[in-house]
C-alpha cells in the first residue's frame, strides 16, 4: 500500500516517508539587523539628497545665468537625477522592504520532514522550487524557542561584506518547534 501523497510521487525514495509537514507563520517579522535598517536610512537619505541636488542643478538654478533657465534643462538635466533612484530603492529595501519581502516569501513557503531529508518548498512570482537537505549524523541542529519557534538543521557558509559567515537553514516561525527538533534528532539517529 503506497501512502505517498500524489504531489510527492517521483520525489521521495521508495523507502522514504513523510514525518511532518508545516508552514511558517505568516506576517511581518521585524528581526535581524537594526544596523542594516539604520544604514539604509542613511543610504536612502543620501539618495534623496542626490536626486534633489541633481534636479536643482539640472533645472539651471545656480548656473550663473540669473534667469533660472540654464543649459541643464535639456535631456541630460532631466535624466541625471534619475540615476539616484536605484540607490533610493536599495535604501528603502534596507529600511523596511526586506521585512515585506520576507513576509511575502514566507506566505508561499512549505516545509516537509521525511525520515531522510528536510525539504523547503517555495512559490513566489510564478516560480516554484524545492530544496532538499540530507539530515545526517553530522547535521548541526538548533532550536530557537519562540513563539513561534525555529528549528535549524544546516549551516551554509555565505560570503558577506565582512568575510564568510554562517547562514542557518531550517524551518522558521513554526508551532511546536521542540517536537520537530526531537524528530530531527530521531532522523539523525535513524530511529524513525
Give CA separation, 112 vs 20, 54, 159, 180, 192, in Å: 6, 52, 28, 11, 15
- Residue in the structure block whose three cell numbers are 506576517: 27
Average pLDDT over residues 146-152: 91
Cβ 112 vs Cβ 174: under 8 Å: no
For residue 18, what is the enclosing H or E element?
A: strand 18-22
What are the beta bridge partners of residue 150? 144
Distance CA 139, CA 133 (A): 10
Reported as a single tens digit per residue, the pLDDT across 65-96 is 444 444 446 676 778 888 889 999 999 888 88
Report the 10 Å Cβ neighbour count for 124: 14
Nearest to 118 by CA among 165, 153, 89: 153
> If you write DSSP's letter for every residue of 39-94 in order, what string do you get?
HHHHHHHHHHHHHHHHHHHHTTTTSSSSSS--GGGSHHHHHGGGGGHHHHHHHHII
Reported as a single tens digit per residue, the pLDDT across 21-51 is 999 988 777 776 677 788 888 989 999 998 8
The confidence score (pLDDT) of residue 130 equals 93
Is the pTM higher than 0.85? The answer reads no
Cβ 109 vs Cβ 173: under 8 Å: no
What are the beta bridge partners of residue 18? 114
User: pLDDT confidence of 54, banded at 50, 70, 90?
Assistant: confident
Amino acid at each position: 500500500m503506497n501512502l505517498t501523497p500524489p504531489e510527492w510521487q517521483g520525489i521521495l525514495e521508495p523507502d522514504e516517508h513523510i514525518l511532518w509537514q508545516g508552514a511558517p507563520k505568516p506576517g511581518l517579522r521585524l528581526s535581524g539587523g537594526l544596523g542594516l535598517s539604520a544604514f539604509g536610512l542613511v543610504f536612502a537619505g543620501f539618495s534623496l539628497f542626490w536626486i534633489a541636488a541633481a534636479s536643482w542643478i539640472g533645472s539651471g538654478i545656480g548656473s550663473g545665468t540669473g534667469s533660472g533657465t540654464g543649459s541643464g534643462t535639456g535631456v541630460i538635466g532631466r535624466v541625471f537625477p534619475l540615476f539616484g533612484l536605484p540607490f533610493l530603492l536599495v535604501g528603502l529595501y534596507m529600511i523596511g522592504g526586506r521585512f515585506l519581502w520576507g513576509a511575502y516569501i514566507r506566505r508561499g513557503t512549505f516545509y516537509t520532514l521525511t525520515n531522510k531529508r528536510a525539504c523547503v518548498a517555495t512559490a513566489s512570482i510564478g516560480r516554484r522550487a524545492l530544496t532538499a537537505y540530507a539530515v545526517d549524523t553530522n547535521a548541526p541542529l538548533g532550536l530557537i524557542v519562540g513563539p513561534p519557534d525555529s528549528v535549524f538543521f544546516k549551516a551554509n557558509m555565505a560570503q558577506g561584506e565582512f568575510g564568510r559567515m554562517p547562514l542557518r537553514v531550517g524551518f522558521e516561525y513554526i508551532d511546536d518547534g521542540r517536537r520537530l527538533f526531537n524528530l530531527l534528532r530521531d532522523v539523525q539517529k535513524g530511529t524513525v
